[in-house]
Amino acid sequence: MKKIIYSLAVLFACSCAFISCGDDDDSTTFSTTPEKESAGIYSGTWTVTLDNESYSGAGSITLEATNTVYQTNVTFSSQLENSSLNVSETSIANITHAGKGYIFNNNTDSNPLGSGFSGKIDDSGNMYVNFQKQVKVGRKQYIYTYVFAGKKN
């Protein structure tokens, strides 16, 4: 009986050696680099939140290709209900392919926004960006959360 069990175990172990995964033919090829493919103006809505207060308004984000591969210039522009919270800044960001879309970010606090930011562009041309910005009023410090949702023009 032990010989039969041992033989079955050896047979099972040998059969596992011939099992393999199929070929990955799902590879996506890109015609150019992400900073060039994603370049354009994305129009949409900005929403700024602090605790339970929320402000919104129209705005845009412009991506402009640089001479460096995988880097793009990002220009933020908003027209919010509360004009003191508007952003109008340009910063460099790293950008790369993510599936059939793109992701970009700049995680340094030394960029013109004064805060790290990240964004995503899906395969339909929809862009989502978020970051937090500290605003000092007198002796108090407030942290606002900025969110953008838009589509490429």
Residue 109 confidence (pLDDT) above 70: yes
Please compute the mean of the pLDDT values over residues 51-60 and round it to a whole number: 94
Residue 30 confidence (pLDDT) above 70: no
Please compute the mean of the pLDDT values over residues 45-67 and round it to a whole number: 95
Nearest to 109 by CA among 139, 133, 89: 133
pLDDT value at position 8?
58
> What is the rounded average pLDDT for all residues in the chain?
87
Phi-psi group of 138: left, alpha or beta (phi > 0 → left; psi -120 to 50 → alpha; rest → beta):
left
Please compute the mean of the pLDDT values over residues 26-53 and round it to a whole number: 87
User: Which tokens belong to 48?
Assistant: 């700024």
In the chain, the percentage of residues whose pLDDT exceeds 90 is: 65
pLDDT value at position 144?
94
Please compute the mean of the pLDDT values over residues 92-115 and round it to a whole number: 93
> How far apart are the C-alpha atoms of 55 and 30, rounded to whole Å?
38
CB 49 within 8 A of CB 57: no
For residue 128, list its beta bridge partners.
120, 149
pLDDT value at position 136?
83
Nearest to 104 by CA among 125, 61, 74, 149: 74
Confidence at 23, pLDDT banded by 50, 70, 90 = low
pLDDT value at position 121?
98
pLDDT value at position 114?
87
Confidence at 135, pLDDT banded by 50, 70, 90 = confident
pLDDT value at position 7?
64
